[in-house]
Amino acid sequence: MKRKQHGFSLIELIIVLAVLGIISTFVIRAMNGYTNWKYAQDYAAHIERVITQLQQYQYYQVTTQNQDPATAAVWPANLESLMSPSGQFWPDCSLADESNRLCTRPDNVPWTTQRLGYTVTTANPTKAEITIPLSAIPSEQQTLWASALKTLPFAVTHPTTGDIKIVIGDPLLSQVYKEFLQKNGETPLTAAWDVGNQSILNAKQVTVKTQDGRQQQLGLGTVKEFLAQHNAWVSKSSWSCAAGLTQTIHVSLNAPMAPRGYEYIGIAGFKPYAVNHRTGWTIGLDYNAKIKSTGKWQPMHSGFLNVRLNCSSS
């Protein structure tokens, strides 16, 4: 008897090949995704090294070359200036060597022929700024690279172009500020403290010394105090408050005062007030006074009021 041959049919073979093709597609995509993620992480490490070497250069110029940190001379004129035969801050690397993958220049950008942008500010102290041209990456890949690069300290994304800018400050000043914040307040600032348009959060109380020597609490403390009389006008432009705080006026009795020709023998029912208008307040004083010449009680308004202008959160 003849034996029947067993094996795959053509249709079964096609199905197996199709399944293998689908699986290989997912494997290749996963491998490509990991490879691109690794490239992004490696480039973030490269930028971190550039930042470190720029700070080392600045530190050397200030401490060894005695350069003034308020001048641009403490930073390299360009990123190429970091490179030197000695390799003190960055080993020499020509464009030809970089294209042959023999070395990497500090201004390298792997996805374009563009180079890292680099400028030095004129602030005091000066700062270096590098710009990473993310806008040169295809939009579908930007998120991957941006997620790695935005983890770097002081990395800010431009809202229009998507490029990332990193401002690099004096590492010595950063350390001074860190130590200052850790102290109990006995160490005074020796110059203006610029926090770069950022906020100081969770401060229990911030005060300033006024001209009369008092400590005035910012935001919630007294902005201005003065005496006023009945029917005086207080303009809302007299003072301003920080964003999120509301102008508040407080009125209290200072002293009633009988007008000329009157003499009081009794006073009662004081009611200081402030009437809110669009551009200011009208302040006033109501009370009852017993007039000596008539012996009768009469509504009166003359006298002085304590006025305190505040900023409040409610």
What are 68-96's pLDDT values in tens digits? 888 888 999 999 999 998 889 999 999 99
Going from N- to C-terminal start, the domains of the chain cover: 13-168, 207-312
pLDDT at 218: 65
Distance CA 314, CA 311 (A): 9
Verdict on whether the full-model pTM lies above 0.85: no
Mean pLDDT, each 10-residue run in order, the chain (314 residues): 58 72 66 72 91 90 85 92 91 92 92 92 86 88 85 86 88 54 60 71 71 63 84 88 79 92 91 94 94 92 92 74
Among the listed residues 163, 159, 166, the one whose alpha carbon sits nearest the alpha carbon of residue 146: 163
pLDDT at 277: 95
pLDDT at 253: 92
pLDDT digits (tens, 9 = 90+) for 121-141: 887 778 999 999 999 988 878
Distance CA 40, CA 212 (A): 58
Distance CA 106, CA 123 (A): 24
pLDDT at 133: 93
Instruction: Count CB atoms within 10 A of the CB of residue 286.
Output: 13
pLDDT at 8: 59
CB 84 within 8 A of CB 92: yes
Report how far apart, in Å, the C-alpha atoms of 162 and of each of 129, 136, 138 are: 16, 9, 11
For residue 19, the number of C-alpha atoms closer than 13 Å in the C-beta half-sphere is 6
Dihedral (C-alpha) 95, 96, 99, 101: value to the nearest 10 degrees?
Answer: -100
CB 51 within 8 A of CB 79: no
pLDDT at 240: 77
For residue 169, the number of C-alpha atoms closer than 13 Å in the C-beta half-sphere is 16
